Amino acid sequence: MENGGTEEMGTREERTRWFLQDRFGMFIHWGLYSIPARGEWIRGNERMSREHYMTYFDEFDASRYDPKKWASAAKAAGQKYAVLTTKHHDGFCLFDSKLTDFKATNTPAGRDLVREYVDAFRAEGIAVGLYYSIIDWHHDDYPGYGDKAHPDRDNEAAKDKPIDFDRYLEYMHGQVKELLTNYGKIDIMWFDFSYDNMTGEKWKATELIRMIRSIQPDILIDNRLGGNIRAAEPEEYAGDFFSPEQIIPPGGIVDVNGQSIPWEACITLNDNWGYHSEDKNYKSTQQVIRSMVECISKNGNLLLNIGPDAKGEMTRESLVILDEVGEWMRLNGDSIYGCGSSLLAKPEWGRYTQKANKLYAHVYDRGIGPIYFQGLKGKIKKARLLRDGTELKVEVPWMAEEYSDVNGGAFITLKGAKLPDEMDTV
Ligand code: JFZ
């Protein structure tokens, strides 16, 4: 038995095959916190009272929520899967849960917003993932999170109020069951997150995982329920992929035996997950593309975050980046999908990705001469510019054999003084 897989449900390797092929996804953080527009942690960070937070509940109308637009933006960007916050730490549910009143159905929006998301993305052929916060600042039986304890328990009277954590677990398990029962096939369940001793069996994680797999045998689960996904024999709940956040692990993620395991870096476009009206610190399209390439060159995926505004619209800045990424992907997607790391060392001019016997050279630094490929002398059958198929010359320039360090290397000449694609020339 590998990673909790039984014969009927398949192994992690089988489950994650599509995920490693698809490589690039869209993360969406959207909820009541999009109204105050200071990030998704606002209720915890600002110790906001329940009464104050409920004013957002009373006005949340999602009047420009059109997930078909989100899905077509994702599709055009070349993203193959998506993950939406069905419930974040604030406990507000975008779906029509029978287990709470704190849900979109009871706001002016008046409908199940997860249903529309699932339908829209599925219609575009994009795999559907659901983010679900196991932390909950709204539920009376949730203890809170460290010094960012339950905002409702700030005052003395409430601080020592007894809680029945099992009742919370029943609620949490029940909502996961709803999410995995009511919307057809779900591709990813993205839990967030374990901390301190709140990890693993504290969440009744084995029971939870078995329930999940009995409903959705092929679903992928992240590693934030706890456990050690890198162990030789990970816990059943240790997940299918590792989820580094706001960082690309320099050496990728390997298990204790040094074998690469599936991972996905989640990265924000500016400095916030949820909408922040004043945060204009957006990454450049070039950074986004090169970061995606870096992930893949280390056998990982990129889950790129968008924080739509209170009304449900993605920011103009985000849409421009997605559009430009898409333009690049249209011409260079072959160097992304189904690709992984190369055994060759990182070249000084950029990065390699590889798919079987095709090596993709992502050239960032043009220099002035031909581009040197260490160790590939006599091994390159042909070289092409990926974006338009132009044949490139593989040659050893005059006198190159005399240079001390080119032994065993080959050179490829790019015409023109500048790189044809300033984002990333492949
Ligand atoms: C979590 C959330 O708190 C955050 O709002 C966002 O949804 C992000 C994707 O996930 O952020 C974390 C989770 C874990 C750690 C740090 C931030 N951690 O373990 O250090």
Q: What is the pLDDT of residues 186-219, one digit of tens each?
A: 999 999 999 999 999 999 999 999 999 999 999 9
DSSP secondary structure letters along 318-338: HHHHHHHHHHHHHHHGGGTTT
Instruction: Give the pLDDT band of residue 2 (cuts 50, 70, 90).
Output: very low
Interval between CA 132 and ligand 1 midpoint (Å): 12
Task: Give, using CA atoms, the residue closest to atom 17 of ligand 1.
Answer: 245
Mean pLDDT of 163-181: 97
A 10 A CB-CB count for 250 gives: 7
Query: What are the angstrom distances between the C-alpha of 290 and each of 284, 308, 326, 414?
Result: 10, 24, 13, 20
Task: Give me the mean pLDDT over the 287-297 stretch.
Answer: 98
Distance 193 CA to ligand 1 centre (A): 7
> What confidence tier does 146 reach under pLDDT thresholds 50, 70, 90?
low
Reply yes or no on whether the pLDDT at 319 is more than 90.
yes
Pocket test for ligand 1, best of 192, 196, 275 (most atoms within 8 A of CB): 192
Instruction: Write the CA distances from 283 to 5, 277, 329, integer angstroms.
Output: 39, 16, 17
Question: Which residues, judged by CB distance below 6 Å to any ligand atom, belong to the binding site of ligand 1?
Answer: 40-41, 192-193, 245, 266, 273
Question: Using an 8 Å Cβ cutoff, are 164 and 141 in contact?
Answer: yes
Residue 395 is predicted with a pLDDT of 87
Ligand 1 pocket test, candidate residues 193, 264, 266, most atoms within 8 A of CB: 193
CA 194, 240, 188, 180 torsion-angle sign: negative
Q: Residue 168: its pLDDT value, please?
A: 97
Q: Is 212 exposed, middle or buried (0-12, 13-18, 19+ CB in 10 A)?
A: buried
pLDDT of amino acid 161: 78
Residue nearest to ligand 1 atom 16, measured at CA: 245
pLDDT at 8 over 70: no
The pLDDT confidence band at residue 157, using thresholds 50, 70 and 90, is: low
Q: For residue 245, report the distance from its CA to the centre of ligand 1, in Å.
A: 7
C-alpha 400 to ligand 1 mean position (Å): 51
Question: pLDDT tens digit string along 339-373?
Answer: 999 999 999 999 999 999 999 999 999 888 899 99
Note whether 141 and 151 are within 8 A (CB).
no
**C-alpha 192 – ligand 1 centre gap (Å):** 7
CA of 38 to the centre of ligand 1 (A): 16
Residue 144 has pLDDT above 90, yes or no: no
**Tokens 């419930």 map to which residue?**
87
Residue 6 has what pLDDT?
47
Ligand 1: centre distance to CA 292 (Å): 20
CA dist., res. 169 & res. 221, Å (int): 18
The confidence score (pLDDT) of residue 135 equals 95
Nearest residue (by CA) to ligand 1, atom 10, is 192
Q: What is the pLDDT of residue 394?
A: 94
Q: What is the pLDDT of residue 184?
A: 98
Instruction: Supply the pLDDT for residue 4.
Output: 45
CA distance 15 to 83: 17
The minimum-distance atom of ligand 1 relative to the CA of 27 is: 9
**Which ligand 1 atom is the nearest neighbour of the CA of 40?**
5
What are the CA-CA distances from residue 148 to residues 89, 195, 276 (Å)? Answer: 11, 12, 20
| Residue 1 pLDDT > 50 | no
Residues 97 and 172: beta-carbon distance below 8 Å: no
* Residue with CA nearest ligand 1 atom 19: 195
Counting Cβ atoms within 10 Å, is residue 163 exposed (0-12), middle (13-18) or buried (19+)? middle
Backbone phi and psi for residue 392, each to the nearest 5 degrees, phi listed first? -115, 145
Q: What does DSSP assign to residue 125?
A: T
- Residue whose CA is at the smallest distance from ligand 1 atom 14: 193
Q: Please answer whether residues 208 and 227 qualify as being in contact, where contact means their C-beta atoms are separated by less than 8 angstroms.
A: no
For 15, the token pair is 């489950």
**In this model, does residue 60 exceed pLDDT 80?**
yes
- The CA 302 to ligand 1 mean position distance, Å, reads 16
Angle subtended by helix axes 67-77 and 316-332, to nearest 10: 40
Cβ within 8 Å of residue 339, ≥6 positions away: 23, 296, 353, 354, 355, 360
- Kindly provide the ipTM of the predicted complex, given to two decimals: 0.96
Task: Work out the pLDDT band at 148, boundaries 50, 70, 90.
Answer: low
Give the mean pLDDT of 332-336: 98
Asked whether the predicted pLDDT for residue 397 surpasses 60, the reply is yes
Cα 244 to ligand 1 centroid, rounded to whole Å? 10
Report which of residues 149 and 269 the model is more confident about.
269
Q: CB-based contacts of 80: which residues, under 8 Å, 6+ apart?
A: 22, 23, 24, 25, 126, 127, 337
Q: What is the mean pLDDT of the chain?
A: 94
> What value does the mean pLDDT take over residues 88-113?
98
pLDDT at 405 (0 to 100): 72
Residue nearest to atom 2 of ligand 1 (CA): 192
- Ligand 1 midpoint to CA 377 (Å): 46
pLDDT at 173: 98
* pLDDT of res. 153: 74
Tens digit of each residue's pLDDT (9 = 90 or more) over 223-240: 999 999 999 999 999 999
| Chain segment 278-290, per-residue pLDDT in tens | 999 999 999 999 9
Query: Cα(30)–Cα(322) distance, rounded to whole angstroms?
Result: 18
Q: How much is the pLDDT for 147?
A: 56
Which residue among 245, 264, 271, 275 has the greatest number of ligand 1 atoms within 8 angstroms of its CB, and so is best to mutate?
A: 245
The yes-or-no verdict on residue 312 having pLDDT over 90 is yes
Q: What is the average pLDDT across 315-329?
A: 98
pLDDT attached to residue 402: 82
Q: Whose C-alpha lies nearest to ligand 1, atom 7?
A: 273
The set of long-range contacts for 351-358, using a CB threshold of 8 Å and a minimum separation of 24, is 351/290, 351/293, 351/294, 351/297, 352/297, 353/293, 353/296, 353/297, 358/334
pLDDT value for 149 = 60
